[in-house]
Amino acid sequence: MSQATAQTEDDRATVATVCLGGCSGCHMEFLNIDHDLVDLLEDVKFEASHMIVDEKGVPEADIGIAEGVVTNEENIEVAEELRENCDTVVAWGDCAALRGIMSLRNDDDPDEMIDEVYLDKADEESESPRDDVPVPALLEDARPLDEYIDVDVYIPGCPPDAEVMAHGIEALLEGEQPEIVDEKLQYD
Amino acid sequence: MSKATQSEAEPGVALEINGQDVQAREGQTILEAAREADIEIPTLCEHEPLTNVGGCRMCLVEIDGKRTETACTTTVQDGMEIEVDTDDLWDHRRTILELMFSEQNHYCMYCEMEGDCELEDLFNEAGLDACEYPLEYNDIDVDTSHSEITLDLDRCVLCGRCVRTCDEVVGNDTLTFKDRGLETEIVADDGVALGESSCISCGACAQACPTGAIYTNQSAYRGREEECDVVTTACTECSLGCELEVYTNSGRIVKIEGVEDGADAGQLCEMGRFGLLGDSRERIDEPSVRGDGTVDTETAIERARESLEDAETINAVASSRLPTEVTEAFAASMDAYDASLEVPGAKRAADERRIAEKVAPLFNEHAGNLRASGPEAVLDAEAVAVFDTSIVDTHPVAASYVRRAAKDGATLVSVDADEDRFASKSDASIESGSALSRLTEDSVEVVEDDASALADSDTETLINAVPALEDGGISIIILGPEIEEEDTLINAYALAAMTDSKVLSLPDRVNSFVDGIGADDLHDDAEVAYLFAADDREDDLDRMVEVARTADTVIVQATRESILTKAADIVLPSLDWFERSGTVTDASGTDRELARVLDPRVAIDSDREVLSELAEGDILEVKP
């Protein structure tokens, strides 16, 4: 990129993506748009997206995208920041849209579950990440994004196809509501 | 009960569906009329072979702009104007689907049915991309107690297709609803684990289930239906010859299902649906000769031919699972060496033919053909007498017809030396050997002497033993596989002739009916035994093992290794059930086609080719 280009004003739309209680599978799948990512970058600037940009916060952006379910206290904060900092919010994947696989824990007691995983099934050195350990506390239930913030676009799928996620962004760039129907609407 | 109306030729009804003129027949449901006009109405609890209950509300339609009704339970009326796809209706449907979604685990990506699931399709059609309702996550354990069928009620939408299938198609009433409202669940019997229930493992519930709530273990996660090839062939595990839809993917069998629009309504039995998939014995790929190990096919056949040529006495036994063409080729081939040939069941078939011809006119000169047209004829019967209730195990699909007839009000009389396997469904259980012995003696006397003996016999006892057969309009007598004694056969056919009943005779397997083949008496000791075992297994092999023991040289043609092949001097490979083609004749005398499902991957491509070479080209054309 030449000095001259860099100095001109960047009028690309901005996108910030976050991963809540998810496996990053949606983000991984998104990269499967492959070379199309290069074309997309002509119109879109990723302000945050943990697989392509080194940015830990939730910056302001035109489009905010969340993968994953809301399963701990930090997820709520990040989700609320996303809503506040972005004009349009998109839920990527079954977890963000419909709760997904993480919600299978909902009929277990969170404390018992944590002890089972970090104490009972680990070695003697292991500590339980509750009480004084500074990690986000688990919520009673894992819940979908729209139980905490307003969501404008839902793209279910586990993961959704890369092309469908890209289509979602492209439609929003055109000022349209993406139509996630027929073969674009999937649950696996 | 909306099904019975389809075939009746009633005056036409004119209506409009989605603005399209539709001609329907009086008594048809809106759903039936729409389907005939190629108009799609979404359904979930509706399933072709079953009674409609209007439970899932997916088929709600708007009638005359005023009311909404379920299309599967509402009959057409002249002038109806019906809308299927209004926004309101789709809002209703989506709300119901969201409620279903919120109640259980309907995440597709780790579900066995993903891709084949009717609920997933409806979610998609309704555009369900978020769910307004909080998740009511119930902690429901998966029931893995059954060896073949898994019950994952966390994926159950309570459409009741399994319950209705178990009731209406199988007649077994194992699955049922328990509790009401939100508490409703599907249970086996009074709430026991499926593996400990009265389930007969037919798997019809799994075939009927629209979601991943009931699935079969052997076929789970082996491939989606849309990625499979389907070949229809006939089952040779018993003499009913049920049609099998065999799903294959990349040269392996994924699953076996029953034909839903056929008479059996998708029903198969444990043997047909699961047993055929589960034969894990080592396959015999190549011929072998004792002492020489593996040899090529020509050498093995040459050695077999030498043994047969040198022998004074030869005993031959053929599996009763083989296609008629192969049995005939085997008979011709053995005939070339003057061998005595036995096919299990052939003797009984020959006896029956003789008895039927002789007995019927003695008792009723108008008797005509006594043979029932097929097991489905049982459904129309008002009285059914079953001689040998072991058909519950040996011919489970026929047993289902019997239970269904009994549930529909037919009188059921069981005649058995042991336990009456129809137990609670029987109106009368006669222990053969007690009340029946009178009947048998009387009948035999009549047959052996002449018809006038009937006047002297205790006719009243005879009739009293089976009043239902006498009174009923249509009546059927079923003969199970254990009915082999001539006396009992005579008795049964005499009874049939006297009471104008039809006989459904159920020998062990299909090709017991190949005319005049396999009814020879075997030699006590033969020099050579040629045992065409094919894929026979377990008890089926007992007779062949017995024959092998008395022979000096044993030649076995078999699909898989067994105690028999271990005892053999020469082993030739044979096709498996899914590689065979040809015809078999079922219990009602109907020919059924066996179609090759997969190409053989063993040293031979055709059983008939081997037999043809064995007889040095004596057999005519060679087909696989």
pLDDT value at residue B489: 83
Backbone phi, psi, residue B343, to 5°: -120, 125
Pick the range with the lowest mean pLDDT from A80-94, B236-250, B251-265, B419-433: B419-433
Three-state secondary structure string covering A121-175: CCCCCCCCCCCCCCCCCEEEEEECHHHCCCCCEEECCCCCCHHHHHHHHHHHHCC
The alpha carbon of residue B143 is apart from the nearest alpha carbon of chain A, in Å, by 17
In a domain, A89, yes or no: yes
Report chain A's mean pLDDT, rounded to a whole number.
92
- Select from B114, B135, B154, B226 the residue whose CB has the most chain A CBs within 10 Å, as the one to mutate to test that interface: B135
| Nearest by Cα to A94 from B356, B554, B380, B130 | B130
pLDDT value at residue B513: 61
In a domain, A35, yes or no: yes
Roughly how many angstroms between the first and final C-alpha of chain A, as a whole number? 40
Sign of the CA dihedral running B236, B238, B241, B247: negative
Distance CA B16, CA A21 (A): 51
Residues B474-495 pLDDT 10s: 889 999 998 887 777 887 888 7
Would you say domain B3-85 falls under CATH 3.10.20.740? yes
Residues B545-573 pLDDT 10s: 999 999 999 999 999 999 999 999 999 99
Does B600 score more than 60 pLDDT? yes
In a domain, A2, yes or no: no
pLDDT value at residue B460: 45
Q: Which residue would you say has higher pLDDT here, B11 or A177?
A: A177
Residues A102-150 pLDDT 10s: 888 888 899 898 888 888 888 888 888 876 777 899 999 999 999 999 9
DSSP letters, B296-344, are -HHHHHHHHHHHHHH-S-EEEEE-TTS-HHHHHHHHHHHHTTT-EEE-T
CATH 3.40.228.10 residue window(s) in chain B = 369-507
pLDDT value at residue B461: 43
Q: In terms of CATH, what superfamily is B288-345+514-579+602-614?
A: TPP-binding domain (3.40.50.1220)
Range of the domain at A167: 12-107+140-184
Q: Do B108 and A185 touch (CB under 8 A)?
A: no
Distance CA B181, CA B185 (A): 9
Kindly report the length of chain B: 624
Does B84 score more than 90 pLDDT? yes
Q: Is B162 exposed, middle or buried (0-12, 13-18, 19+ CB in 10 A)?
A: buried
Q: Do A100 and B107 touch (CB under 8 A)?
A: yes
Residue B88's pLDDT band (boundaries 50, 70, 90)? Answer: very high
Average pLDDT, stretch B265-281?
A: 94
Average pLDDT, stretch B9-24?
A: 88
Identify whether the C-beta of residue B385 lies closer than 8 Å to the C-beta of residue B413: yes
Closest CB to B129: pick one of A104, A141, A154: A154
Q: Is B427 exposed, middle or buried (0-12, 13-18, 19+ CB in 10 A)?
A: middle
Q: CA B434, B439, B445, B446: dihedral to nearest 10 degrees?
A: 180
Average pLDDT, stretch B1-11?
A: 47
In a domain, A4, yes or no: no
Q: Which residues of B touch A141 (CB under 8 A)?
A: 135
**Which amino acid makes up residue B330?**
F
pLDDT value at residue B549: 96
Identify whether the C-beta of residue B483 lies closer than 8 Å to the C-beta of residue B460: no
Residues B312-325 pLDDT 10s: 999 999 999 999 99
Q: Is B286 exposed, middle or buried (0-12, 13-18, 19+ CB in 10 A)?
A: middle
In a domain, A161, yes or no: yes
pLDDT value at residue B466: 53
Sign of the CA dihedral running B343, B345, B346, B348: positive
Q: Do B101 and A98 touch (CB under 8 A)?
A: yes
Give the whole-number percent of chain B exceeding pLDDT 70: 88
Q: Any residues with CB less than 8 A from the CB of B493 and at least 6 apart, and which?
A: B352, B355, B356, B359, B360, B370, B503
The alpha carbon of residue B132 is apart from the nearest alpha carbon of chain A, in Å, by 9
What CATH number belongs to B369-507? 3.40.228.10
Backbone phi, psi, residue B133, to 5°: -100, 145
pLDDT value at residue B445: 54
Does B535 score more than 90 pLDDT? yes
pLDDT value at residue B355: 84
Does B157 score more than 90 pLDDT? yes
Does B263 score more than 50 pLDDT? yes
DSSP A103: G
Which runs of E-coded beta strand occur in B107-228?
149-151, 175-178, 185-188, 214-216
What CATH number belongs to B96-277? 3.30.70.20
Average pLDDT, stretch B349-366?
A: 79
Q: How many degrees, rounded to 5, is the angle at CA B311 between CA B305 and CA B316?
A: 75
Does B63 score more than 70 pLDDT? yes
Three-state secondary structure string covering B40-102: CCCCCCCCCCCCCCCCCCCCEEEECCCEEEECCCCECCCCCEEECCCHHHHHHHHHHHHHHHH
In a domain, A122, yes or no: no
Q: Do A188 and B109 touch (CB under 8 A)?
A: yes
Residue B262's pLDDT band (boundaries 50, 70, 90)? Answer: confident
pLDDT value at residue B308: 95
Residue B401's pLDDT band (boundaries 50, 70, 90)? Answer: very high
Residue A7's pLDDT band (boundaries 50, 70, 90)? Answer: low
| Nearest by Cα to B433 from B395, B387, B394 | B387
List, edge to edge, every strand of the sheet that includes B67-70: B20-25, B12-17, B81-83, B60-63, B67-70
Backbone phi, psi, residue B275, to 5°: -60, -40
CATH number, domain containing residue A27: 3.40.50.700
Q: Do B108 and A188 touch (CB under 8 A)?
A: yes
pLDDT value at residue B617: 52
**Tokens encoding B489:** 């056969």
Chain A residue with CA closest to B101: the answer is A98
**Which amino acid makes up residue A187?**
Y
Three-state secondary structure string covering B336-379: CCCCEEECCCHHHHHHHHHHHHHHHHHHCCCCCCCECCCHHHHH
Spell out which chain B residues touch chain A, with contact meaning CB-CB distance below 8 angstroms. Answer: 101, 105, 107-110, 114-115, 120, 123-124, 127-131, 134-135, 137-139
| A112, B141, B214 from A105: Cα distances, Å | 11, 14, 23
Residue B442's pLDDT band (boundaries 50, 70, 90)? Answer: low
**Overall number of domains in chain A:** 1
| Nearest by Cα to B562 from B283, B180, B356, B331 | B283
DSSP A87: E
Average pLDDT, stretch B190-215?
A: 97
Distance CA B167, CA A183 (A): 37
Q: Which residues of A touch B107 (CB under 8 A)?
A: 94, 98, 100-101, 158, 187
pLDDT value at residue B624: 41
Q: Which residues of B touch A26 (CB under 8 A)?
A: none
Report chain B's mean pLDDT, rounded to a whole number.
88
CB contact A182 to B (< 8 Å): yes
Average pLDDT, stretch B226-246?
A: 95
